[in-house]
C-alpha cells in the first residue's frame, strides 16, 4: 500500500500486472484498493489524486464535484488495505 500511496502522491497509478488478484478469499484483503482502482479512464492527473470517468482515486483530501448521476460510493482504505 505504501507503493500505491507513493505513486499517487507523484501523480501516477500503481498497477499490479504480475498475477491475478483474487476478488475474495485468501490474499484478497491486501489488494482491495487495487481491485477498486480499475477500470479507470483518466481525465485529470493531479499530485495525490486522479480524476477518471468511472471514479476518483486519491490519497489526499480533494474538494471536487462528482459529475455522475447518482450518489458516489466512498471507500476508505488504510496501509493494510
Residue 46's pLDDT band (cuts 50, 70, 90): confident
Q: What is the mean pLDDT of the chain?
A: 78
* Number of C-beta neighbours around residue 19 at 10 A: 7
**Per-residue pLDDT tens digits for 16-42:** 666 666 667 665 555 667 777 778 898
Amino acid at each position: 500500500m505504501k507503493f500505491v500511496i507513493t505513486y499517487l502522491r507523484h501523480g501516477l497509478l500503481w498497477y499490479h500486472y504480475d498475477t491475478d488478484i483474487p476478488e475474495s478469499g485468501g490474499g484478497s484483503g491486501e489488494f482491495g484498493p487495487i481491485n477498486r482502482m480499475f477500470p479507470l479512464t483518466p481525465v485529470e492527473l493531479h499530485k495525490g489524486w486522479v480524476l477518471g470517468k468511472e471514479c476518483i482515486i486519491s490519497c489526499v483530501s480533494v474538494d471536487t464535484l462528482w459529475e455522475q448521476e447518482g450518489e458516489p460510493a466512498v471507500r476508505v482504505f488504510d496501509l493494510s488495505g
